[in-house]
Amino acid sequence: MLLASTFIAAGCGGSADDASANGVPVIGFMTWRDQTGFDEKQFRKCEKSDGNKYRIEAIPMGPSVDAAREQLTRRLAAGDETIDMINLDVIWTAEFSDANWIMDLTKRVEPIKDQYIPAPLESAHYKGKYWAVPAGTNAPVLYYRSDLVDHAPATWEEMVKLAKAAQAKQPGMAGFVFQGAAYEGGTVDALEFMAGAGANILNEDGTKVVVGEGDGAVRAFTWLQKLFEDKVTPKVVTTYMEEDARLAFQKGDAVFMRNWPYAWALMNQDEASKVKGKFDIAPLPGFEGETPASTLGGKNYGIAASTDEPELAWKAIMCLASESVQKEQAVAKGEMPTLKHLYDDPQLAKDVPFLDVLAKGLVTGKNRPASPYYNDLTIVIYQIYNDVLNGRMSPEEAVKELERKAQSAIEGKAEI
């Protein structure tokens, strides 16, 4: 989901408005705009490998996740028959399945489910059924200046100590940058910090908010506020999204950064990068005494309930989510495989030098809460998170407010 902004610009050609192309059915694929040409190349390869029984044509969506969701919900609610396949954000499963916009794929996925890493597969699972195939995943990582810090921290507390030591030698440098703005990326970061302190938002069946149980959320929020009080993190981070953090780190203005794997290649290849060859990455740490947590991103491929070509759509999905495509997209786009065995592939490990780090992050990876009201829930989370970072709420007040508003949100009574 969060990598999409790197590749979104112009739509890839084609329209699924026609029922057939060159005498074969058109499979309309509602997916992210892609100016790299990678997706179009895979479409043509899949058509050929399946005997040219169909033609895949992209229906571009975006540019943001919110805009894509709005486009999809409007068209799916209207029963748009030009949409056969959907590139589903991992947070849409519950909402889209409850609305009967996507097909139940349980009988198709069950026989192959053991091939996939559990956490990405779980993002396609809701109410005991599978609604999509995990086609790509991502775990965030901790970037650090290897010329200023001699090892990766094991805990968030250790990271602060290392950051302060580096800042003492490099006055004016930020110790830690991350995503602090009030948007979906803020929710992702907030969930990581809270989970890394032992706090969950919802119970297992998603019916009750449990963030107030224990002191995990208060601990995480208190630690975040102290980052600003101690000037480990500059106030401007409360407005940061992924690219803001990357550019700050790339300019040599930060010791540590929380971000997605895509930044690795950009910071090593960009001629303007001041940190090329001067940084390394590690799995995200947790708080002392707790298990680290990474909020997963990624994409799932589902079939629209309104399709007239479910069999051909399934064939296309199996090709576009195949081993060969997943290997290529890992290198070309920074989207990591969902197939377990690819993390033992020697060539992929050579092409993606941080593959082992990502594998560790996926083990501790957590999906965002599954709820048909997720859109309302995330607004509650990122607004309160941003209030905490800006000091507008105490940690204790924030947890109480989060508990109350989040419960209203998952009950369909959002206070927004």
Distance of CA 392 to the CA centre of its chain: 27
pLDDT at position 385 is 98
Name the fold adopted by 4-138+297-366. D-Maltodextrin-Binding Protein; domain 2 (3.40.190)
Homologous superfamily of domain range 141-294+373-410: Periplasmic binding protein-like II (3.40.190.10)
The C-alpha torsion from 82 through 87 and 90 to 95, rounded to 10°, is 0
pLDDT at position 100 is 97
| Residue 103: both structure tokens together | 């097909």
Length of the chain: 416
pLDDT at position 416 is 59
- State yes or no: pLDDT of 26 exceeds 50: yes
| Residue 113: both structure tokens together | 């489910």
- State yes or no: pLDDT of 8 exceeds 60: no
Of the CA atoms within 13 Å of residue 293, those in its CB half-sphere come to 24
- Ranges 34-38, 84-88, 151-155, 403-407: which has the least confidence: 34-38
Q: What is the pLDDT of residues 289-324, one digit of tens each?
A: 999 999 999 999 999 999 999 999 999 999 999 999
Indicate the domain borders of the chain: 4-138+297-366, 141-294+373-410
Q: What is the pLDDT of residues 153-180, one digit of tens each?
A: 999 999 999 999 999 999 999 999 999 9
pLDDT at position 22 is 73
Query: Can you list the alpha helix ranges (DSSP code H) found in 91-198?
Result: 93-98, 106-109, 118-122, 156-169, 184-195
pLDDT at position 196 is 96
pLDDT at position 21 is 63
Chain mean pLDDT for the chain:
93
- Among residues 176, 127, 131, the alpha carbon closest in space to that of 149 is found at 176
pLDDT at position 3 is 40
pLDDT at position 10 is 31
- State yes or no: pLDDT of 131 exceeds 50: yes
- State yes or no: pLDDT of 14 exceeds 90: no
Model confidence band, residue 7 (pLDDT cutoffs 50, 70, 90): very low
Q: 166 or 20: whose pLDDT is higher?
A: 166
Q: What is the pLDDT of residues 213-245, one digit of tens each?
A: 999 999 999 999 999 999 999 999 999 999 999
Q: What is the pLDDT of residues 363-416, one digit of tens each?
A: 888 999 999 999 999 999 999 999 999 999 999 999 999 999 999 999 999 885
What whole-number distance in Å separates Cα of residue 218 and Cα of residue 97? 34
What whole-number distance in Å separates Cα of residue 25 and Cα of residue 10? 25
pLDDT at position 405 is 97
pLDDT at position 20 is 65
Q: At what angle do helices 156-169 and 216-229 cross, to 10 degrees?
A: 0
Per-position DSSP letters for 248-267, written without gaps between them: HHHTT-EEEEEE-THHHHHH
What whole-number distance in Å separates Cα of residue 155 and Cα of residue 142? 11
Decide whether 4-138+297-366 matches 141-294+373-410 in CATH topology: yes
Q: 67 or 115: whose pLDDT is higher?
A: 115
What whole-number distance in Å separates Cα of residue 31 and Cα of residue 88? 8
- State yes or no: pLDDT of 11 exceeds 50: no
Beta bridge partner(s), residue 254 = 174
- Range 213-221, long-range pairs (CB < 8 A, 24+ positions): 216/290, 217/395, 217/398, 217/399, 217/402, 218/395, 218/396, 218/399, 219/287, 220/193, 220/194, 220/196, 220/287, 221/193, 221/388, 221/395, 221/398, 221/399
- Ranges 96-100, 101-105, 203-207: which has the least confidence: 203-207
Neighbours of 210 (CB within 10 A): 16
Q: Which residues contact 333 (CB under 8 A, 6 or more apart)?
A: 3, 7, 36, 38, 262
Helix (H) or strand (E) holding 316: helix 310-320
Q: At what angle do helices 323-332 and 38-49 cross, to 10 degrees?
A: 170
- State yes or no: pLDDT of 4 exceeds 60: no
Q: Which residues contact 225 (CB under 8 A, 6 or more apart)?
A: 388, 389, 391, 395
The model's pTM is 0.88
DSSP 211: T
